[in-house]
Amino acid sequence: MTNLQDGNGDPLMSPGNGPDLSQIVLIGINHKTAPVEIREKLAFSTEETATALGTFRNSPFIDEAMIISTCNRVEVILIVKNQTQAVETVFSYIGDTKSVSPDRLKTLAYVFSGDSAVRHVFRVAASLDSMMIGEPQILGQVKDAFKASVNTKTTGVIINRLMHKAFLTAKRVRSETGIGGHAVSISYAAVELAKKIFDSLDGKTVLLVGAGEMAELAVEHLIRNTSSGNLLVANRTLSSGVALAERFRGQAIRMEEIPEKLKFADIIISSTGSPDFVITRDQVQPIMRWRKNRALFFIDIAVPRDIDPAINRIDNAYVYDIDDLQGVINENIDIRQTESLKAERIVDESVIKFIEWHEHLDVIPTIIGLRKKLDAIVDMEMCKTMHALDHLSSQDRLAIERMTESMVRKILHDPTLFLKNPGSHRNKSVYLDFARKLFNLDS
Amino acid sequence: MAALHFSIIMLYLISSAGYVIFLFAQKEIFHRFSYYLLVAGFAVHTALIGVDCIRIGHIPVNSLHQTLSFAAWTLAGVYILVKYRFRVNVLGVFAVPFATLIMIAAFLIPEASMAPTRLFKSLWLVVHIVIIFIGEAALALACGTGILYLLQEHAIKTKSNRFFLKRLPSLEFLDRNGYMFIVTGFTLLTIGLITGFIYAQLVWGRFWSWNNKEIWSVITWLIYAALLHERLVSGWRGRRAAIMSIIGFAALLFTFLGVNFLLEGHHDEFTRW
């Protein structure tokens, strides 16, 4: 899984040279590489993310950092000074804080650098790497992750630009392809399964635990299939539960009421942020007797999981977590194949554009760009002025041309020196980017 | 007669194959085709049994050959009715091959020729036999539904077997139909047993004679009674109901055949060969 080229310090990464593309590194695990048990263990809460970013910022090998942590993935995006050591830093940090051996972590994680890291970021934001391709929540999650790292001041020019482009790419993918249009996934899969347990969903009661965006999506589709059913919404903050319940003409309840309401519910969808199980086997066991063994279907879309998987061993109770739903989802993938080709093309375009921008972030192209810009201005102005001064001799003209050339050279002298060496602890790309913006070199 | 018998088997066999193909291919045409073949086979089978009736002057359950043929006939008939009424297409995968197997067994057993007994002339006996056989066919379907339920339940629980998950109907549907078959079968079994006792009273002068056949009939009846009771009182539905309907049917098969072969009892003309 680890596709990190080994080598003690890339020669291109040595100071003095401009930023090499391989300074962009991405370390991650997702639903394809790690089972839900590991993912829930590795997931970063908001506070943990801030602490981790603080640590990475202090590492001498890391310039910029950002962490995306959702139920299906943990991705660490880094702009590094030394790839090998930066990656090692991250692995050992995660290994320590999450008490997973770094060796085990390395077998589960992928490490991308350069253009493949950029492509991966774009694909994640565009929901092409999602468990349910095209699901819309991931973009919001990436935006939140970006905001969090901006707040901890661990992002710089490159991550800012990268994320900015990622958002644009995601927007294009959504508006130009039909990828998000197909009955989105979790809810779709859940309904398909529910129909294999219950003959008809009419009149079934749905209990929603946690009033998140994900849950809302699932319920929307489900409610459309249960014409006369009831909806119960349990949420930590009653007010948002009430708001959601109102939308679907349901009833809001308190978290404490869940065990009692399990007697009447048929389908339970859970998506809270709770670190522990919200519904345990001991709660469900007695309820089944009360329900006269009418089936109970638990859909657990939370990571870490909300529903005790042991409940699946109770007769007539069925528990599906987010990984289990994958099997059902896979069947609808063919439909999206053509659309995803289109989406991949959009991503490729964005990657090329980003690489172009990144190459320009180098010192030499920037200086050349500056020079060209000034030369062009001089040429144009000279041309205009010389038209009006045709009494000048050719020697006079030559003298003036030499003067303008030397002006350009002298104007550029200090900026060039500064850009080549902005000071040992300063991030060169910030100044390069600034210079390019100041002189409008990228338009 | 053998030609008639053979053509019935062929029709049933092709119908069975059609149902198996239907399970894999999930094309509507296969099950419709199989259903028509089954109905055709059933029509010929009805003719055969009608001819037998006229020839021997009573219901042809006078030897193992006849009994099996009659059982296959009722099973096919009951399935045709159930499918027509409740649209449980996939159950054909169980019912039709099962009926076919019984029919093949009947074909392989030579017909024992024997003098018709006066025993079979009573109306009570005709009612007893017909009702018990129909009830048993319903309970066979309950067993088949139970097997399908367990397959589907296993597929959903283990989350691995997409084959059955896609092809079999919902658990609730299977459970509801299984329950319906058991209620029907149990009711008929009860009526059948009562008519049997009445007939025993008429012929032997006593309702109950501690005969093995009688004891096992009552054991089978009790298993189904327990299943229904538990369902109503403590909600034995789903998996347990499915397992019980299979156990019940196993007891039923033993009562039907096993008692005659392994134990002593009346009804032995039933399985003569």
* Residue A297: per-residue pLDDT: 93
| CB–CB contact A295 B171 (8 Å) | yes
Handedness of CA A119, A125, A131, A133 (dihedral sign): negative
CA dihedral sign, ordered B64, B70, B73, B78: negative
pLDDT at B64: 83
Distance CA A282, CA A73 (A): 30
Q: Which of A160, A181, A202 is the last residue of a domain?
A: A181
**Residue numbers in B near A293 (CB within 8 A):** 235-238, 240
Counting as low any pLDDT under 50, the low residues of chain B are none
What is the C-alpha to C-alpha distance for residues A219 and A198, in angstroms, rounded to an integer?
17
Single residue among A122, A149, A181 that ends a domain in this structure: A181
Residue A303 counted as domain residue: yes
State chain A's maximal CA–CA distance in angstroms.
Answer: 109
Give the separation between CA A74 and CA A97, rounded to whole angstroms: 14
Residue A12: pLDDT above 70?
A: no
Residue of A nearest to B233 (CA): A292
Number of domains in chain B: 2
Does the residue B271 lie in any domain? no
In a domain, B174, yes or no: yes
pLDDT tens sequence across B125-141: 888 889 999 999 999 99
Q: Are residues A230 and A256 in the same domain?
A: yes
Q: CA B196, CA B201: separation in Å to the nearest integer?
A: 9
CA angle A273, A277, A278 (to 5 degrees): 75
* Average confidence score pLDDT of chain A: 84
What's the CA gap between A63 and A19, in Å, rounded? 12
Is B235–A193 a contact, with Cβ atoms under 8 angstroms apart?
Answer: no
Q: State whether B171 and B198 are in the same domain.
A: yes
Rounded (5°) CA angle A219-A220-A223: 75
- Which of B172, B175, B227 best tests the A interface by mutation, with the highest count of A CBs <10 A? B172
Q: For the segment A30-62, what is each residue's pLDDT rounded down to a tens digit?
A: 988 988 888 888 989 889 999 999 999 899 999
Residues, chain A, total?
443
Among residues A159, A181, A203, the one where a domain terminates is A181
**Interchain proximity A292–B156, CB inside 8 Å:** no
Is the distance from CB of B91 to CB of B180 less than 8 angstroms?
no
Where do we find the tokens 């109901």?
B241
Q: Give the chain A residue whose CA is nearest to the CA of B231.
A: A292
pLDDT above 80 for A186: no
Give the residue numbers spanning the domain of A272. Answer: 186-330
Give dist(CA B157, CA B135) in Å, integer.
32
At residue A188, does pLDDT exceed 80? no
The answer, as to whether pTM is greater than 0.80, is no
Q: How far is B75 from chain A, CA to nearest CA, in Å?
A: 26
One of A4, A42, A68, A71 is an active-site residue; which one?
A71
Residue numbers in A near B240 (CB within 8 A): 293, 315
Cα-flanking dihedrals φ and ψ of residue A21, to 5°? -60, -30
**B50 and B108: one domain?**
yes
My answer on whether A289 and A313 are in the same domain is yes
Do B134 and B155 fall within a single domain? Answer: yes
Burial (CB < 10 A; 0-12, 13-18, 19+), residue A32, is: exposed
Sign of the Cα pseudo-torsion (A301, A306, A309, A314, in order): negative
How confident is the model over A196-234, as pLDDT tens digits?
A: 899 888 888 889 898 766 677 677 767 766 666 788 999
From the list A111, A24, A15, A119, the residue with the least C-alpha distance to A66 is: A24
The answer for residues whose C-beta is within 8 angstroms of residue A265's C-beta and 6 or more apart is A205, A206, A207, A232, A296
- Give the gap in angstroms from C-alpha B190 to the nearest C-alpha of chain A: 26
Range of the domain at B195: 121-266
Quick one: pLDDT at residue A183?
A: 37
Do A176 and A206 fall within a single domain? Answer: no
Q: Which of B159, B234, B239 sits opposite A315 (nearest CB)?
A: B239
Domain containing residue B99: CATH number: 1.20.120
> What pLDDT, on a 0 to 100 scale, did the predictor assign at position B193?
92
What is the structure's pLDDT at A125? 94
Asked if the Cβ–Cβ distance from B165 to A196 is below 8 Å, we say yes
* E strand or H helix that includes residue A320: strand A317-321
Q: What is the DSSP string of B118-146?
A: GGGG-HHHHHHHHHHHHHHHHHHHHHHHH
Residue A315 domain-assigned?
yes
Mean pLDDT of chain B: 87
Q: Are residues A217 and A308 in the same domain?
A: yes
Q: What is the DSSP letter of A359?
A: H
Q: 3-state DSSP: chain B helix, strand, coil percent, rounded to 5?
A: 85, 0, 15
CA distance A221 to A175: 22
Q: Residue A9: in which H helix or E strand, if any?
A: none
Rounded to an integer, what distance in angstroms lies between the CA atom of residue B266 and that of residue A365?
A: 105
Residue B154 domain-assigned? yes
Three-class HEC string of A362-376: CHHHHHHHHHHHHHH
Establish whether A71 is a catalytic residue: yes
More confident residue, A364 or A299: A299
Residue A335 has pLDDT above 70, yes or no: no
pLDDT band at A424 (very low <50, low <70, confident <90, very high): low
